[in-house]
Amino acid sequence: MTVLDAYKNCTLCPRDCKVDRTQGVLGVCGESSICRISFIGPHFGEEPSFTGTLGSGTIFFSGCSSRCFFCQNYQISLQHEGRTFSSEQLFSEVKALAAKEVHNLNFVTPDHFWPHIQALCAELTKMGIKIPKIFNSSGYQRPELIEAYAQCMDIFMPDFKFAEPELAKQCMKDEQYPDIALKAIREMVRLKGFLQPWDPTGEQPARQGVLIRHLVLPGHVENSLKVLRLLHQEFGPGIPLSVMSQFCPVPGCSGHKEFQKGLQAGEYEQVLGLVKALGFERVYVQELVEKTAFLPDFHDPEDPFPGNRQRE
Ligand code: SF4
């Protein structure tokens, strides 16, 4: 079986498009079988467990199967910014990235290019390159594929975006997201456990396990409260979380009234109030700022994250 075979009748994600991407037919993710990437490089905008002191070795894939209209990475997920990579180029650039002594390889939105990544991981293992690998995803994964991901990856960093089916339908056109994501994350936790070591100073970067991210959306505090209750009920207070406030309106938000301004302090405080009341023990929170230095501009060929440059 070659890398390309899995793209011929594509069922790599819950959209189940069954299109032949090798013939250039596009499914919901909008990408053919030619691997496309927008940015490869050290990145300092992740949580300290991943950024550590040397940065996270990020690989941002173009396209996305979730396609939320508010996506903060919309230039790559919805507008498909990026350049093509052969398998050889991918291997050589990722090898060079690992040699920069970053703490991990961080595959961002990897599911629709999984066959390329799986082959890449096999090559890295053959070369004796041992570095924690992160599956950094939307949470919208086929639960039955998690075992295969876990054979290559050490860390899962899924989003859990929506507990409300109606909101999922409005934002990404699939009301099944809450069920699908919960099943997928359950598998991730079963296979890898909670993130460890847990060191929010970043002195000891994470080597294995699961951390769940949730972006609080303006006008939808109730969704966030349901997310927290669900995760608490499912995994208990020890599950590592990152509760994010960095929502910023992007062009796709026009036409969606409540998404046209940033998150209000009162909304974030209400969510953090429940984090405290439920007794979650391992939580990253963010400072509520108008615009984060890590809101990317993928039109910048050097480095899309102004926050990375500010460190130089
Ligand atoms: S990876 Fe893309 S083409 Fe394949 S099932 Fe998902 S959305 Fe459809």
The closest of 91, 74, 78, 71 to 28, measured between CA atoms, is 78
Q: Parallel, antiparallel, or unpaired: how do β-strands 56-61 and 36-43 relate?
A: antiparallel
Question: Could you tell me the CA-to-CA distances from 276 to 58, 199, 256 in Å, in that order?
Answer: 31, 19, 31
| CATH code, domain with 271 | 3.20.20.70
* pLDDT in the model for residue 301: 59
312: pLDDT strictly greater than 60? no
Burial of 29 (0-12, 13-18, 19+ CB in 10 A): buried
**Pocket residues for ligand 1 (CB within 6 Å)?**
10-13, 15-17, 19, 21, 27-29, 65, 112
* pLDDT for position 101: 87
In a domain, 16, yes or no: yes
Has residue 217 been placed in a domain? yes
pLDDT of residue 311: 57
Mean per-residue pLDDT, 248-261: 93
State which ligand 1 atom lies nearest to the alpha carbon of 18. Answer: 5
In this predicted structure, what is the pLDDT of residue 309?
58
Cα-to-centroid distance, 112 and ligand 1 (Å)? 6
Rounded-to-integer distance, Cα 136 and Cα 279, Å: 25
Indicate whether 96 belongs to any domain: yes
Q: Is residue 38 part of a domain?
A: yes
> Which residue is closest in CA terms to ligand 1's atom 3?
27
Domain-embedded: residue 177: yes
CA-nearest residue, atom 2 of ligand 1: 29
Give the residue whose CA is nearest to atom 4 of ligand 1: 10
Domain with 250 in it: 3-292
Is residue 28 assigned to a domain?
yes
248 in a structural domain? yes
Structural domain contains residue 304: no
Model confidence at 1, in pLDDT bands (50, 70, 90)? confident
For ligand 1, pick from 9, 11, 25, 29 the residue to mutate: most ligand atoms within 8 Å of CB: 29
Query: Average of pLDDT values for 40-64?
Result: 96
Number of domains present in the structure of the chain: 1
- Rounded mean pLDDT of 36-51? 96
pTM: 0.94
Atom 6 of ligand 1, nearest CA residue: 13
